[in-house]
A and B are shown apart, each in its own frame.
Chain A
C-alpha cells in the first residue's frame, strides 16, 4: 500500500508535459509518432496517450560504470519521442550522476532514497560495465568499486537496461586482452530481466523507444535470442541499406577516393560490416534521421555486435583471424594450406612416377636376364 501511495505521488507524464508548456495537440502528435516508431499502428495511439495520462512516471536509476558517456550523449539528442528535457521528464530520472544537479553525498543519498522508496518498482539503467579484476578497483564510483554499486542497485530493480555495447557486450575495454576484466552486465546480474540495447552508442530513438515501450505496456519489449529488442535489432543494416541495389548489382567502392565512392556505390569491399550487424541505423538513422555512417560514405563498423573490436580491421571484408596468432585471414590461411598440400601432392606424384619407372626398369632387366 505504501508503495502505491508513493507511486501516486509522482506526476504522470502528461502532467509533466503540460506543466512544461506542451499543448495537448503536440502531446497527441508525440503519441502518434511514438506508436509508429515502435511499429504499433494507429489503433494503439490512444493506448499510449491513456498510459501517459494516467500512469505515474517510472523511477529510473541510471548508473555509469566503465564507459565514455556516448550513450548519454546519444540519449539526450533523441528527436522522436520528444527530445531533450521532455524525454528526461518522461521518466522520473531520480539518479544519474552525469546529468543530475546534485553531487557527492547528496547524489548518493538520492539513489539510496529511490531504492528504499520504490523497492521492486524502479528500472535500473546501466551505462558501461564493471571491471572485475583487482576486486573492481579499476572503476570507483562514490568511493566504492562500481561492481558493488551495480549489485546493490540491481537487487531491488524491476528490470535492468544495458545501455550500449559496454553494458551489453563489454566493448573496447573488454577487447583482448581485457586487462581490467571488464564484464558485461548480464554476467554480473543474473537474477533480473535484462534488456540489451547495444551500439556504440545506441541510436537515440532506440533508447527512448525502449523506455517508452516499457512505460506504456508495463513490460519488456519482445527480445531476440541475445536479449535485444527485436523491433530494433531484428534486421541487419544490410537488409535495409539504401545502397543495397549496388551490392546486388556488383557495384562497389574500390578505393576511398575513386569515382564509385563519389557515386555512392556499396562499401562492401571497403570492409562494411552492414551484412553482419543487427541494428536500426539504416531505417531510423541518426540525428533526427539526417544520416548514418554508410550514408556519409564510411562502412558500418558493426558497433552493436558482440566483440566487434576483436573481429579484425574495420576496413576488410574478410578479416584477420587472431586465433591463429598471426595477422592472416581465413582465405590466406586456407590458400597457404592448399598450396602446401598441392606442393606435397606434386612431390608425391613425382616420386611415384620415379618409383614406378624404377620398378619397371628392374622388372624388365630381370625378365631379360631370365630370357637370357
Chain B
C-alpha cells in the first residue's frame, strides 16, 4: 500500500467549504462544490476540445507542408506538367489548413467570451495576481525536481498557461499575420487580403525576409509541440490530476482528495 491512496470518506469529513479557499489554479467555488459530490470537474467544453484537436491537426499539416514548400521533395515525373499538380496540392493543403486554423482561432477567441472561466486562460494572463505568481514559482520548482508533490489544478497550471499564451495565442497570431502576408502575394496586389496584410511585407523588409521569419515561427511552434506533448504525458502520469483524457472527455479527474 502506498501513502497516496487515501480514504475518500476522510476527505468528506474534512469539510469542503474550508478547503475551497486553499484551492489552486483558476478553480472556482463551483468547481469545488462539484468536487464534493464527484471526483471530477467538467473543465473543457465541447467547442474547446473540438478546437484543440482541429487546431492540432491543422498545425501538423501546416508544419509538414510548410517545410516542404521551403524544401520541396524530389522531382516527381508521373505525368506531363499539365496533368500533374503535386507541388500545387502541397501548397493547397498548406493554405487550406491555414484557413481552417485561422477560422478556428477566431472561434476560440469568441468562445473565451461566452465559455466557462477556464476557456479564458489561453488569452488572459493574470499578471497582477500575486497568488498566480506564487503558483508559477511553485510549478517551476516541481519541474526543477525541487518539490516532491505538485499542486492540484482544475484548469491549466500557470506554467502551461504561460507557454500556451506565448506559443499559441501570440505565436499563432504571428503565424496568421505573416502567413496571410505571404498568401496575399499569390492573391495579387490590390486585393482585399493584400490591402490588409500586404503592408507587413514592407514592414519586415520584403517577401524573402517574410518567408524567413515565417519559417522561424514554425520552428517555435514545433518546439512548443515537443514541450506540450511531453508535459501533457508527464502530468498525466506524475501529477495529481488527469491530463490527456481531459482533452478528450472534458472532465478533470483527481487522484486524491487532499485539497492542498
Chain A residues engaging chain B, CB cutoff 8 angstroms: 224-226, 230, 234-236, 239, 245-252, 254, 260, 265, 268-269, 273, 275-277, 302, 305-308, 311, 317-319, 321, 329-331, 333-335, 337-338, 341-342, 345, 348-349, 351-352, 355-356, 359-360, 363-364, 366-367
Contacts and interface: CB of A to CB of B under 8 A. Distances in A.
Interface of B: 1-3, 67, 70-77, 79, 81-82, 84-88, 90, 143, 145, 148, 185-186, 188-190, 198-199, 202, 205-209, 211-213, 215-216, 218-220, 222-223, 226-227, 230, 234, 237-238
Contact of A251 (B71, B75, B209, B215): B75
27 contacts: A230-B189, A234-B188, A239-B186, A245-B81, A248-B85, A249-B84, A249-B88, A250-B76, A250-B87, A254-B74, A268-B72, A276-B185, A276-B207, A311-B208, A318-B215, A329-B215, A330-B212, A333-B216, A334-B218, A338-B223, A341-B223, A348-B230, A349-B230, A351-B145, A355-B145, A360-B2, A363-B2
A234 B226 contact: no
B188 A235 contact: yes
Contacts of B199: 225
A250 B73 contact: yes
Contacts of A308: 208
A349 B90 contact: no
A334 B85 contact: no
B242 to A, nearest CB: 17
Given A363-B2, A367-B1, A317 B86 contact: no
Given A251-B81, A331-B67, A349-B230, 10 more contacts: A225-B202, A230-B189, A250-B72, A250-B75, A250-B87, A260-B75, A275-B185, A308-B208, A318-B70, A318-B211
Contacts of B213: 330
Given A234-B190, A333-B219, A341 B227 contact: yes
A226 B209 CA distance: 16
A341 B77 contact: no
B67 to A, nearest CB: 7
Contact of A234 (B189, B206, B211): B189
Interface of chain B, helix or strand or loop or mixed? helix
A256 B22 CA distance: 69
B208 to A, nearest CB: 5
A254 B223 contact: no
B163 to A, nearest CB: 12
A249 B1 contact: no
Contact of B76 (A249, A359, A363): A249
A330 B143 CA distance: 30
A363 B3 contact: yes
Contacts of B234: 349, 352
Contacts of B76: 249-251
Nearest to B209: A311
A337 B88 contact: no
A245 B82 contact: yes
A250 B189 contact: no
Given A251-B81, A306-B206, A367-B2, A317 B87 contact: no
A215 B63 CA distance: 51
A337 B230 contact: no
B208 A276 contact: yes
A319 B2 contact: no
Contacts of A335: 219
Contacts, number: 141
B219 A331 contact: yes
A318 B68 CA distance: 11
A226 B207 CA distance: 13
Contacts of B75: 250-252, 254, 260, 265
Given A247-B87, A248-B88, A334-B219, A307 B189 contact: no
Nearest to A330: B215
A362 B226 CA distance: 31
Contacts of A239: 186, 188
A230 B190 CA distance: 10
A338 B222 contact: yes
Given A302-B208, A321-B212, A345-B227, A249 B3 contact: no
A269 B222 CA distance: 24
Contacts of B215: 318, 329-331, 334
Nearest to B143: A348
B72 to A, nearest CB: 6
B205 A306 contact: yes
Nearest to A251: B75
Contacts of A268: 72
A248 B87 contact: yes
Contacts of A329: 212, 215
B230 A251 contact: no
Contacts of B207: 236, 275-277, 305
A341 B190 contact: no
B68 to A, nearest CB: 9
A338 B209 contact: no
Contact of A338 (B82, B202, B211, B219): B219
A269 B208 contact: no
Contacts of A305: 206-208
Contacts of A349: 230, 234
Contact of A318 (B2, B71, B77, B209): B71
Contact of B72 (A269, A345, A356): A269
A342 to B, nearest CB: 5
B187 to A, nearest CB: 10
Given A269-B72, A305-B207, A367-B1, A250 B219 contact: no
Contacts of A321: 212, 216
Contact of B216 (A246, A275, A330, A363): A330
Contacts of A269: 72
